[in-house]
Amino acid sequence: GCFLLHYAHRALIFPLLIREGKPTPFFTFVLALLFCVFNGYLQGRSLTTYATYPAGWLGDLRFITGLLGWLIGMAINIHSDHILRNLRKPGETGYKIPRGGMFEYVSGANFFGEILEWFGFALACCTLESLAFALCTLFILGSRARQHHK
């Protein structure tokens, strides 16, 4: 459910909210699409075929902590995206430093939120595949956050 909710938001709601921006290079789009398709298959297959959980797993501290981490991360991600979308007035150009929310603590609050989301997901699922996804997210978004910070 967490995985589907994140990608439903990212694929259906987020595109309707964004304003015109820089176009995404086609190669970057293709790489992102391939990653999402492969990862979606990997996560879905892992959770529906291989993962087994004891009775009462939904009440386990690992699941509850992971779910809370995922929820907080998604809230940070959505709020940070909102701040970024509203940095400039229509027609305005130039760089602006985002303020408010988690941007008061980290320069890449949107990236931080998504990284927190997927580490929460990994804890809630307790699978090697979900941990691999969280680590990939950390390395990919961490490097993007570093570039944005500079």
Output the CA torsion sign for 101, 99, 103, 13. positive
- Answer whether 46's CB lies under 8 Å from 72's CB: no
Residue 1 lies in a domain: yes
Residue 116 lies in a domain: yes
Output the CA torsion sign for 89, 106, 23, 8. negative
Residue 20 lies in a domain: no
Residue 73 lies in a domain: yes
Tell me the pLDDT tens digit for each residue of 92-135: 777 788 999 999 999 999 999 999 999 999 999 999 999 999 99
Q: Over the chain (150 residues), what is each successive 10-residue block's mean pLDDT?
A: 91 81 83 92 96 96 98 97 88 84 96 98 97 96 92
The rounded distance, in Å, linking the Cα atoms of 4 and 18 is 20
Note the pLDDT of residue 23: 77
Note the pLDDT of residue 108: 95
Residue 23 lies in a domain: no
Note the pLDDT of residue 120: 98
Residue 139 lies in a domain: yes
Q: Which domain holds residue 56?
A: 1-12+28-149
Note the pLDDT of residue 99: 94
The reported pTM is 0.91
Residue 51 lies in a domain: yes
Number of domains forming the structure of the chain: 1
Residue 22 lies in a domain: no
